[in-house]
Amino acid sequence: MSGIENEIALNTNFVKLDQALKRFNIFDALGVRNHEIRHSNFLGYLLDPNQSHDLGAEFLIEFLRNVSRESAEVIPLLDLNLPLAQVEREKKFQNATDSSLDLFVDIPLMSGGGKFVLAIENKLNSTQANGQLSRYSEHLHREVIGTAGKLLKVFLTLNGEDANSDGWRSLSYFQVVTPTIEALIDSRSDTSGDYFIQILKDYLAAITRDADSSDLDDVVVDFVKNKPQLVQSIKEDKSANSLPRVRVLFPRAYSYVRGFDNDPRVKVLTAFKATKFELGSNLKIETSSRSYLRLSFLTEENGKKLATACAHPTRPWLESKRHLALELRLDKSLKDDVATGVNGKVWLMLGPTDENYPYRKELVKFLNGWEEIKDVSPRYTKILLDAQHEKSFRNLNPEGVNAWIQSKFFKIAQDIQKDINKKLEIFFKDYCF
């Protein structure tokens, strides 16, 4: 083993990365982790109470509970004839020539002779086409509402992309799919076979790794920052073939590091994590990844009180436990599946509050200037910023994104921190703190 190979093999972060990636996962083995159609097929299989998984309607019930809670929509669970539910993949509409809806769940109501329909458009790595959701809405309202049906339309994406059409509830896998599978694993661990439980765990690992790989990103960022010469050796190895043993002994970490540096968001993440603030500033870099950059700005007192309200034992979200952050969502701008730049959008995000905390909706209204927000989910609620701030950009290179962060993102945090902290002081005084 050469000197450079030995140094890579002894690097703690590199070894840690390979260990995190090397656990066998059936979805990785089949090469379907990034295939949207396969995800829709698997979800459709689990949602169908008449499939061979032996779950009956258990997955469907839990999924509907999470959708109802996260979308703030009332679903008549007690009136649903769940054993007669029909799940249709690639739903074709009458007299329509455009593409088909990913998942169509049709459940008869036990009273009144109508039905409840859950329409799901599922996007993994692709994005919604222009007018696609609007066309689906027209078809759905004609075919469902016209037959005395109740309709809920869900735009399901890995990271919670906003639907570009009214009437669609924008939900992420983390909001509805992840907790449904977690609940199923907990309830079925003693009754279902180990093989089926392991498949559910593999699927959970596959989607959570894609949704927000902050832990893996942290390990690689440290490796890139502290050992740039080793990273360069890995990047240049394909033609020189100078690291044969590293490629054999640590294939996953080797591939991950090579692909990681080709993502334009990596340079943005690295620069963001290196930001230093003046002593005494309330600004703090929070748990971030290539997909999300997070910045909190609460005073120490407000941070402590919000942490008390948000003391969620299994979902701490932010390292500081402040649970309120300015969030910059980053997506790759793609052309022919090649990243050409970065798109970004900013909002204020309230993270999970304790399940017994009774004032979440009031807190969201207060932060939003007492304007009504219908979708107040118990886990993640976006609070949009006012019109005076520039809140998005498209197809910037990493240098352009870093400049935007310095001139816009940090300024937004500075502009709103006084107002938000003052609102929180009043809120906590009025609501039992």
Query: Same structural domain for residues 70 and 7?
Result: no
- Given its phi and psi angles, is residue 388 left (phi above 0), alpha (psi -120 to 50 degrees) or beta? alpha
Q: For residue range 116-167, what is the model confidence (pLDDT) as tens digits?
A: 999 999 887 666 777 788 888 888 888 777 666 788 999 998 777 778 888 8
Residue 275, pLDDT > 70, answer yes
Query: Same structural domain for residues 278 and 249?
Result: no
Query: Same structural domain for residues 202 and 346?
Result: no
Task: Among 260, 277, 294, identify where a domain stops.
Answer: 260
Task: Among 209, 233, 250, identify where a domain stops.
Answer: 209
* pLDDT band for position 175 (cuts 50, 70, 90): confident
Residue 371, pLDDT > 70, answer no
Query: Same structural domain for residues 286 and 396?
Result: yes
Number of domains in the chain: 3
Query: Same structural domain for residues 198 and 85?
Result: yes
pTM above 0.75?
no
Query: Same structural domain for residues 79 and 113?
Result: yes
Query: Same structural domain for residues 120 and 250?
Result: no
Query: Same structural domain for residues 16 and 100?
Result: no
Query: Same structural domain for residues 360 and 286?
Result: yes
Residue 252, pLDDT > 70, answer yes
Q: For residue range 315-324, what is the model confidence (pLDDT) as tens digits?
A: 567 777 778 9
Average pLDDT (243-247) is 83
Query: Same structural domain for residues 406 and 353?
Result: yes
Residue 1, pLDDT > 70, answer no
Question: Which residue range forms the structural domain that includes residue 99?
Answer: 32-209
Token reading at 368: 């939003």
Q: For residue range 9-20, what is the model confidence (pLDDT) as tens digits?
A: 888 888 887 877
Query: Same structural domain for residues 245 and 271?
Result: no
Query: Same structural domain for residues 409 and 326?
Result: yes
Residue 212, pLDDT > 70, answer no
Residue 306, pLDDT > 90, answer no
**pLDDT top residue among 314 and 161:** 161
Q: For residue range 374-419, what is the model confidence (pLDDT) as tens digits?
A: 555 666 777 877 766 778 898 899 999 999 999 999 989 988 898 8
Predicted confidence at residue 211, as pLDDT, reads 47
Task: Among 260, 295, 321, identify where a domain stops.
Answer: 260
User: What phi, psi does 98 have (nearest 5°)?
Assistant: -80, -175
